[in-house]
Structure 1
Amino acid sequence: MSISATEDPPAKEEAYPPFPLTLLPDTLAMSCFALLPRSDHASLSLVSKKYNSVLASQEFYKTRSLLGRTEECLYVCLTTNPNSTPNWFLLHRDATSKQLIPIPSSPSQPETFSSFVPLDWGIYVIGGFKDGDVRSSDVSLLDCRTNTWRKVPSMSVARATAAAGVVDGKIYVFGGCQELNSSNWAEVFDPKAQMWETFEPVSDPSEGDNVMRETLVMDEKVYGVGFWNGSLLCYSPREREWGRNNTPEEVNNYYCVIENVLYGCDEAGNVVWREQEEWEWKRVKGLEALQKVFSGLNNVNRPFAARKRVRKLSSFGLNIVVFWVGFRGDIWCAEISLERREEEGEIWGRIEWSEAVATVYSAFRRAKVEVLYATTVHV
């Protein structure tokens, strides 16, 4: 069939123009992605497999870091009853509400007394007890860029209640062994080489050195806080020397370090601070409202099950966060900003917000909730 000169030719199917970012070189596209807030990453990853691969890459994390676009994210690990798999959450906060958002938990994570170490974009979960009283040498890594888990090389010895901290990009672990005099009592992990190596253990170990309830890193030294008496054992990787501090920390306190200042908080909500080289604690001023929350702690007329007490203290950037559990298992959090007044030699705190961030309870019985760990990761 011929087409006369007066007839219009058949219309061609209209093609959609390519998505502009697909026309850019990969490095330039990655820089554009890095400028987006992290809340948009989940949607962007669904556009294509290529974009999902870019967002999960080490290069993308480095680009965000170089551009100053990483964000402070608070990760929290909870357990709701003894011998249960710990649950992981990410704190979501905006102008209207704050809440703990569940993220996938590692099915292989031990139930209790693991050590936790934040490094770069991830959190390492080291050792712990499985099946009640069986120590584990396993190490898992939570990739906070994608909130996924993977195994990393295991330690040479099983541990629980060990001290673990980062100095110069390496993870130093000591204590928590079945045998106090084990030749592998102290190990260091190099994430770049993916290898564990032993280093010289403390020469005069005691049983208290083997059971740590908390780790502090100050002045390029790793401190283990003794579980039973608050004794302090420290290791300096640069000097390759062990040391002890004669003044133990309070056993009912929780601790965190911000800009080389040590902060402590007892179960009654009293927040204190001191410099690394000092031993005299000073009270953080301006937090009377926080202390009133726990004012019934020592009230003998109040049933113990109904009392509130602090369960964890953590840094959140340059702020501190305090966690406690309410009467019905609801988990509360207060974020406190800090102001140092040099002339007065004081630090003042201000409660930026305080509210319930999660509820874990049964209609028939009160859940036993423990805050195992909380830390900030920049992603």
Structure 2
Amino acid sequence: MNEEAESSFSNGSLIPGIPNEIALTCIARVPRSNHPYLHLVSRSWRSLLRSHSFYDVRSQLSSSVQPFIYITVRPFSSSSFQWLLIDPRAPNPKRLHPLPPPPFSSTGSSCAVLGPRIFVLGGSVSDVPSSTVWIFDARFNRWEIGPSMRVSREFSAAGALDGKIYVLGGCLADSFARSSSWAEVLDPASGSWSPVPSPVDVQEKWMHSSAVLGGKLFAMADRGGVIYDPAASAWTNVSTELDLGWRGRAAAVDGILYCYDNLGKIRGYDEKEDKWEELKGIEKELPKFLYGATLADLGGGRLFVAWEGKGRGKDMEIGCAEIETVRESGGGLRGSIVWSDIVNLAVPRRSTIVNCLAVGL
């Protein structure tokens, strides 16, 4: 389909009187949220918007790329997932848009975002760990199969670093093959996985949360956690301070790791100071307890938070907020609400927010 799209727009004039190369650059500067209107212009424009060339140009124009949030929700007593999209730049009230259902049904998968693609790694299918990798291409709203991992995993840790996907844990190192591949890395250019050497003393850990901070992959287990630095090929244990303060699914924004704690506060962790601090300035504008809070980095110092609301009738509300974060001159963390909203899109009550992922498009 992409080859046909490339041929369709390259054989015609996108804008009369302007070379296609220049017209492409002009169209690529239009915000992603306005692309539905561009589809209405002409057949050649529709073909352009379905082409890789168009998004290659957009990625080079960093000022044109805007973040979109992808939320996965698991209904109660179900192994299936709903994938939803929200545009943080859309005017209020915000809306959640349903996405094509994934061609798989698994629990305990880990996710990593690399460019415009979301990698869904492993998970349990009928209580059996899987090595399968599925990729959602956010540019074209479609699923495709990816290269399988060397080892089957569930509840692993994953992250994108230097253009590669790293995954670790989620498997029992009960054989040489599993032990040598307890951690592995995917090079998307070659489409192949390679083992990442890891110490024996970290290989019994099952991960429940992870984040990329300062060029390193942080992975938390039920007790303790590990840090992998690919630049130095080095493993270290997380500090006691980080271990005690990390709760739930966290996100790193401008070098600070944020999570929502059991006391109903958003806190940030500074690795250099090995210290947690409360994100102040937002206490009166968010619910006291954000059930199922999941966070994502919107870029530009902005933090996205999604939480499970109480809902009405058979449906559950999902609350969302965008927070601008700053480091004060005295060293404290302060946030201000850019917007907050409650959305409802036929999500069954007692559902669980599993992931909240930011993708630049």
Give TM-score scaled by structure 2 length.
0.86
1:200 is displaced (CA, Å) by: 1.0
Report the counterpart of residue 9 of structure 2 in structure 1: none
RMSD over aligned CA atoms reads: 2.3
Question: 2 CA distance for matches of 1:135 and 1:155?
Answer: 12
Q: TM-score, normalised by structure 1?
A: 0.82
Which secondary structure does the structure 2 equivalent of 1:41 belong to?
Answer: helix
Say whether the 8 Å CA contact 1:274–1:281 is kept in structure 2: yes
Structure 2: distance between partners of 1:351 and 1:276:
25
Aligned to 1:276: 271
Mapped pair 1:34 → 2:34: no
Q: Deviations over 1:35-76 (max 9, x none)?
A: 222233234346666544432333322211323211111111
Q: Distance in 2 between matches of 1:190 and 1:20?
A: 35
Unaligned runs of 5+ in 2: 1-11
- Could you tell me whether the CA contact under 8 Å between 1:85 and 1:107 is conserved in 2? no
**1:145 counterpart SS class:** coil
Question: CA 1:172 to 1:20, structure 2 compared with 1: closer, same or farther past 3 Å?
Answer: closer
**What letter corresponds to residue 199 of structure 2 in structure 1?**
V
Report which of the two structures shows the higher radius of gyration computed on alpha carbons.
1
8 Å Cα contact 1:74/1:374 also seen in 2: yes
**In the alignment, what sits opposite 1:107?**
103
| 3-state SS, counterpart of residue 193 of structure 1 | coil
On the 8 A contact 1:269/1:310 being kept in 2, the answer is no
Contact 1:225 1:249 in 2 (8 A): no
Find the residue that maps to 1:289 and give its secondary structure. Answer: coil
Q: Does 1:202 find its partner at 2:195?
A: no
Contact 1:143/1:149 (<8 A) preserved = yes
| Structure 1 position 169, deviation (Å) | 0.6
* Compared CA separation, residues 49 and 127, structure 1 to 2 (3 A): farther
- Alignment match of 2:304 (pick from 310, 321, 326): 321
Residues 14 and 20 of structure 2 are in contact (CA less than 8 Å); yes or no, is this contact kept in structure 1? no
Query: Matched residues in 1 for 2:331 and 2:246: separation?
Result: 26
Q: Would you say how many aligned residue pairs link Structure 1 and Structure 2?
A: 338
Find runs of 4+ consecutive structure 1 residues off by over 3 angstroms. 22-26, 42-53, 178-181, 249-254, 290-293, 359-362
**Any conservation in 1 of the 2:266–2:278 contact (CA below 8 Å)?**
yes
Identity of aligned residues (%): 32
Q: Partner of 1:13 in structure 2?
A: none
Distance in 2 (alpha carbons) for counterparts of 1:157 and 1:349? 41
Between 1:255-264 and 1:25-34, the stretch displaced more is 25-34
User: What is the aligned counterpart of 2:67 among 68, 72, 86?
Assistant: 72
Give 1:197 deviation, angstroms: 1.1
Match of 1:370 in 2: 352
Match of 1:309 among 285, 291, 307: 291
The Cα of 1:311 is off from its aligned counterpart by: 2.8
Equivalences for residues 128-167 of structure 1 within 5 A = 128-131=123-126, 133-167=127-161
Q: Is the 8 A contact 1:223 1:235 kept in 2?
A: yes
Q: CA deviation at 1:92?
A: 3.1
Q: 1:339 to 1:205 in 2, by over 3 A?
A: closer
1:241 maps to: 234
